[in-house]
Structure 1
Amino acid sequence: MSADWQQFKVLVVDDDAFQRSIVSKLLKQLGITEIADAEDGKAAEAELAKGYDLLLLDLNMPGMDGIEFLNVLSAHSSSPSLIFFSGEDGRILEVAEELARDLSISVIGSIAKPVSKEKIQRLLEQTAPQMTQTTARLTQSELTEDEVRAGISGGAITMFYQPKVDAQTLALRGVESLLRWQTPEGALIGPGAVIPVAERTDLIQALTLGIFTVSMTQLGNWLKQGFELSMSCNFSIADLVQPEIVEMLDGVLAASGVSPDKVTLEVTESQLPEDVSKVLSALTRLRLRGYEISIDDFGTGFSSMEQLRRFPFTELKIDRAFVNGAEQKPSARAILESSVDLARRLNIRSVAEGIETEADLNLCRTLGVDVAQGYYVSRPLSSNALEDWAKSWQL
C-alpha cells in the first residue's frame, strides 16, 4: 500500500544542479513520481502556479535566496508545505522555520545536508496531519454574522476531542475540547471560520456558552458511563473577566453532573494583559471553585515568568513550536527542558502539545513531561470515535 505522501507533487529548489539531481533521485526511490526543480527562488516563483503539494527549499542561493523566497511563497494563494534542506548551521534552520511559520507557511521541518533517503522519509511521514490542518485553514472563508447567529441557536456547534495521555504510562488522562461547526449542508468546518466573527460582534459570549455546554454535556455522559477522564476547554480573557462567568460555568456543570475538578480552563499566554487585576480576580475565583487553570501556548509571549508568578495556574502547556522536532533543534529542546523543569519546581502539571512523531514523544518522556498531546497520539475525534480509540489504545 502506498503512503499518502507518495502522491505529492514536489518542487526541489537549490542552486546546485548536482544536489537537485540527488534529492530528486531520493524522492523517486521513496515512490514519489511528480518532481520538478528550480535553481533559485526566482525560478521557483514561476513554478508555483503549477500547484505543488510540497517544496524542498535550500537557503543560501544566488539570485533570490530561500529567505527572500518565503515572502513570495506566503503571498501565493495556495502555498505548498515546506521542508528546508541546507548546509547552514542548525540555529539558522530553526530561525528560518520560525520565520516561515510567522508567514503562515506550513513547515514540515528541516534537513541538514548531506541529504539522505532516511532523513527525507522521516519528515515526509509527518506531512499528512500538518497538510490536512493547513488545507482546512485555507479552504474555509469566514461565515457571516447571520450564519453564526443562526448556527448557535440551531445546533451547529459540534465538538471534537483530542486525547491527552500520561507521557510516562501512556494512559488516557483527559481530552481537549475543540470546536467544529456543522453547516446546513452537513459539512464540518474549523473554528477559524466562526470565532473571529463572534469576537467582532455580540455573539462571543453566546458561542462560548454553547461550546462549554456541549462539551460538559458530553463529559457528564462519559462520567456516568464510567469513562473516567477530565476535559480542557479554551477560554478567552474577555470571557473570563465577565462578572457572571463563575455562575455561568457552575450552572452548566450542575446541569451536566460534572464537578469543577474535572475541568481545565485553558488561557492563551499572549492574551494575558499587563493590567492583571480583573484577570487575577477571575482566575482566583475559579480556582476557589475547584477549576483547573492552564496557561496555553507557553513560551510564545513576552512575560511568561511574571504571569506564572502572579496567576493561580495548575498546568503549563508548552507550545508546539518547542516540542515538534525538538530533538533536532537545540534551542527548542533547551526551552522545552527548561519549561518542564519550571513546571516541576512550581508543582504544576506540564503538558507538551504538538507531539507528531515517536521521537517527539520519547524526548518528552525523557525530559519528564507529565502529559502528551498531538497527532502521534491521536488527531481530534468525534465523541464516538474517541470512545473507539480509547478501547483500542488500552489494548
Structure 2
Amino acid sequence: MKKEIKNVHVLVVEDHELLSKILIQALTRAGIDKIALATNGLEALNIIQSGTPVNLIICDLDMPTMDGIEFINHVGTHGSDVSIIISSSLDPALIRTVEDMAASHGLDVLGTLPKPISSEKLEGFINRYLQQDILTENSQPQHTGLAINQAILEKAIDDGQFILYFQPKVKLDTGELHSVEALARWKHPNASIVAPGQFIAQMEQWGLIEKLTLSLLNQALDQIENWKKQGRSISVAINISPAMLNNTQLPDILLKEISSRHLDPKLLILEITENGAITNTTSTLTTLARLKMHGFSLAIDDFGVGYSSMQQLNRIPFTELKIDRSFVHNASNDTTLKAIIEANLSLAQNLGLKTVAEGIEQSKDWQLLRDLHCEMAQGFFIGKPMPASELDDWEKSWLEFTTSNRFPKR
C-alpha cells in the first residue's frame, strides 16, 4: 500500500481532460490526495487567490484564456513559495526559457514532464520535492517566524549548531564511492534541521560567512581524518564563499589544520561557484594560486551558468569541473543539453580537468553521462545529502544496486 503523503497540496493546471486525469491518477498512486484542478492559468490564479493551500504546481504551457507562461509569471511576480513542474510537449528551447524565467522569480523549478506523461518520472519529481522538504521538516521558514539576527547566528556557530551533511559523488564507470560534497545544515534547537537557503545570505550580509566556513572546514577535515583511521581515502568537497578568497592567509590556515591531522591536501576539494570568483582580484588570484601550489583541489562549480566561464578557466588553476544540474537534468531527452554536456566534457578533457555531473535524478541521465565518459556524478538518483553516520548503509545499498542486471558496469 502506498503511504499517504501529508501536507502536500498539488495544483494541476491542464486543459486536456485525459491528461489531467492521468496526472491525478499518478499523484494519487504516489500517495498525494490533496489535489486541485484548473483548466487554464486564470482558473489556477483564482484557486490560489481564494486561499486554497498550494505548494506544488504541475502546469501545462499552451492553454486558452491564460497560458501557462503568463500564469507562472503571475505566480512568481507575487512571490509565491511554490515548486513547479512544467508539463509540456513544446520545443525544449522554449521550455528552458520558461524554466529560467520561473527560476529568476525565485520559484523552485523541479523540471519538465514531457508528454506523453510518464508516471515514473512524475514520481521521481515528487520524491525530489519531498527530499527537499525533509530538510526543513518541522522547521519554520524565515518568513514565517524563524528568528534570525546576527547575534543568534554567531552564537549558533559558537555552540556548534552548524553541521555537515554529505552527498556521495561516485565514479560513473564503476559506481564506486569516490568522494562526497559537504553541505551545511543548521541543527536549530527549536526547528530541527534548517536548510542553508535560510541562513547563508544572512551570514554573508553580517560578515559571519568566514567564521562559519572555517568551522565547517574543520568538521570536514575531522571527517576525512576519521575515514583515514578506518583505512579509507575519501575526498570531501566544500563550497568556499568568494569573501573568503580575498583572505590571502586562507592557504596557511588550511595547511596548519591539514598538517596537524597528517592529511593529504588533495583530499580537500574547495568548490568555487563560477560567479564567486568573477572579480578575479589580486588577492583572490593570490589565494587560489597558493591553494593549488600547496596541493589543494579546486573545483569550478555550476559551470556554464555564468557569463565568464572561459575567462575563469584561463585565469584560475582548477582541477575539477562540475557540470551544473540545469544541463544534466533530462539531458537524455534533450539534444541541446546533450550537446552542451559533450562540449563541456571535451573542454575539460583537453584542459586535463576531472569532471563531475551534478543533479542526476534518473537512470537515463546516469546512462547518458556514462556513455559520454564523464568521470563522476552526484544527485538524488545516487544519494541524498546525509549525516556521515548513514553513508555506510547507503554505500552498501548503492553497490548492491549497481551490480544488479539493471545497472551493469561499463
Pairwise same-fold verdict (TM > 0.5): yes
1:295 aligns with 2:306: no
Q: Which residue of 2 aligns with 1:130?
A: 129
- Paired with 2:267 and 2:26, the residues of 1 have a C-alpha distance of 49
1:218 deviates by: 1.4
Contact 2:267/2:296, CA 8 A, preserved across alignment: yes
Q: Which residue of 2 aligns with 1:140?
A: 141
Percent identity over the alignment is 34
- Paired with 1:318 and 1:305, the residues of 2 have a C-alpha distance of 14
Pick closer, same or farther for the CA change 1:186–1:379 going to 2, 3 Å: same
2:61 alignment partner, one of 56, 59, 75: 59
Pick closer, same or farther for the CA change 1:188–1:134 going to 2, 3 Å: closer
- Paired with 1:250 and 1:39, the residues of 2 have a C-alpha distance of 60
Contact 1:40/1:65, CA 8 A, preserved across alignment: yes
Q: Which residue of 1 aligns with 2:46?
A: 46
Pick closer, same or farther for the CA change 1:190–1:311 going to 2, 3 Å: same
Mind listing any 5+ residue stretches in structure 2 that lack a counterpart? 401-410
Contact 2:245/2:283, CA 8 A, preserved across alignment: no
**Root mean square deviation, CA, Å:** 2.5
Mind listing any 5+ residue stretches in structure 1 that lack a counterpart? none
Taking the TM superposition and a 5 Å limit, the aligned residue runs for 1:1-395 are: 1-2=1-2, 9-17=9-17, 19-21=19-21, 23-24=23-24, 33-48=33-48, 49-75=51-77, 79-113=81-115, 115-116=116-117, 119-133=118-132, 136=135, 139-141=140-142, 143-185=148-190, 187-395=192-400
- Paired with 2:104 and 2:234, the residues of 1 have a C-alpha distance of 35
1:139 deviates by: 4.5
- Paired with 2:26 and 2:191, the residues of 1 have a C-alpha distance of 42
1:107 deviates by: 2.5
Give secondary structure in 2 for the equivalent of 1:295. strand
Give secondary structure in 1 for the equivalent of 2:275. helix
Pick closer, same or farther for the CA change 1:22–1:375 going to 2, 3 Å: closer
Contact 2:235/2:267, CA 8 A, preserved across alignment: yes
Any idea what the Cα deviations from partners look like across 1:258-287, whole Å, max 9, x if unmatched? 220111110000122244433222111111
- Paired with 2:70 and 2:343, the residues of 1 have a C-alpha distance of 33
Contact 1:83/1:110, CA 8 A, preserved across alignment: yes
Contact 1:106/1:131, CA 8 A, preserved across alignment: no
Any idea what the Cα deviations from partners look like across 1:276-320, whole Å, max 9, x if unmatched? 433222111111100010000001111111211221000001111
1:176 deviates by: 0.8
Give secondary structure in 2 for the equivalent of 1:179. strand
Match of 2:103, as an amino acid? R
Pick closer, same or farther for the CA change 1:139–1:329 going to 2, 3 Å: farther
Match of 1:140, as an amino acid? P
Any idea what the Cα deviations from partners look like across 1:60-91, whole Å, max 9, x if unmatched? 22322111111222255654432222342222
Contact 2:13/2:39, CA 8 A, preserved across alignment: yes
1:27 deviates by: 5.2
Any idea what the Cα deviations from partners look like across 1:345-373, whole Å, max 9, x if unmatched? 11110000111111121111111111111
Pick closer, same or farther for the CA change 1:77–1:50 going to 2, 3 Å: farther
Pick closer, same or farther for the CA change 1:264–1:61 going to 2, 3 Å: same
Pick closer, same or farther for the CA change 1:289–1:66 going to 2, 3 Å: same
Contact 2:181/2:236, CA 8 A, preserved across alignment: yes
Give secondary structure in 1 for the equivalent of 2:121. helix
1:169 deviates by: 0.5
Give secondary structure in 2 for the equivalent of 1:50. coil
Contact 1:56/1:83, CA 8 A, preserved across alignment: yes
Contact 2:302/2:325, CA 8 A, preserved across alignment: yes
1:155 deviates by: 1.4
1:8 deviates by: 5.2
73-82 or 326-335, which moves further after superposition?
73-82
1:20 deviates by: 3.8
Give secondary structure in 2 for the equivalent of 1:354. coil
Give secondary structure in 1 for the equivalent of 2:110. strand
Any idea what the Cα deviations from partners look like across 1:183-213, whole Å, max 9, x if unmatched? 2337221222332222122322211111111
Match of 2:264, as an amino acid? S
